Amino acid sequence: MTSEDPTSTPADPLAPVREALLRQASADGVAAVAAARDQGMNRVEAARRQAERIVARAQADGERTARALVAPEIVSARRQAHEMVLAAQRRLYEELKNQSRSAALELRADPGYPQMMRALADRARAALGAGARIIQSPQGGVVGTRGSLRLDLTLPVLVDRALEDMGSEVRRLWTA
């Protein structure tokens, strides 16, 4: 006669299915973010070329004006051109961020979204420890809290973090 441990849980026959669905949801999420990043980078590249043309025109205009003006005016024209470039870069970055966020929000309609939500909730619990409270966000993703600790794993925040992690790649768009 064998004694069974009443606290042990029986093997979950659906575990392989859940794992496969979670892997697929994760892969789909990565693919969606990659596609949004590629599309955003293409738009950023087109906008960068346009910004270069604008800067070239502004620089040419600035050089003509500089020849006729005193040194402080030359400095002012260069500063304006630089500010235009920075403003264009900022607009392009914001567009990339908005497009990436939109693509991430589309994950909510994906069949693998519930598995992704469980994975995010598990990640929050692992980071915050026992007693963590997990709340689903209307923006997609979850927010975990435990006492004064808070972990934001909402889709917009995850996109922002991914873009921050890609900082050097994004900056190369301005210098390429």
Res. 55 pLDDT band, cuts 50 70 90: confident
Q: Of residues 15 and 153, which shows the higher confidence score?
A: 153
Q: In whole angstroms, give the CA distance from residue 44 to residue 47.
A: 5
Q: What is the mean pLDDT of residues 53-79?
A: 77
Nearest to 141 by CA among 159, 129, 128: 159
Instruction: Give just the sign of the alpha carbon dihedral 154, 157, 159, 161.
Output: negative
pTM > 0.75: no
pLDDT by residue (tens digit) across 80-133? 999 998 898 889 888 988 998 999 999 899 999 999 999 999 999 999 998 999
Does residue 40 contact residue 94 with C-beta atoms inside 8 Å?
Answer: no
Q: In whole angstroms, give the CA distance from residue 76 to residue 60.
A: 14
The pLDDT value given to residue 128: 96
Q: In what order do the strands lie in the sheet with 149-154?
A: 133-136, 141-146, 149-154
Q: In whole angstroms, give the CA distance from residue 124 to residue 135.
A: 10
Q: Does 35 have pLDDT greater than 80?
A: no
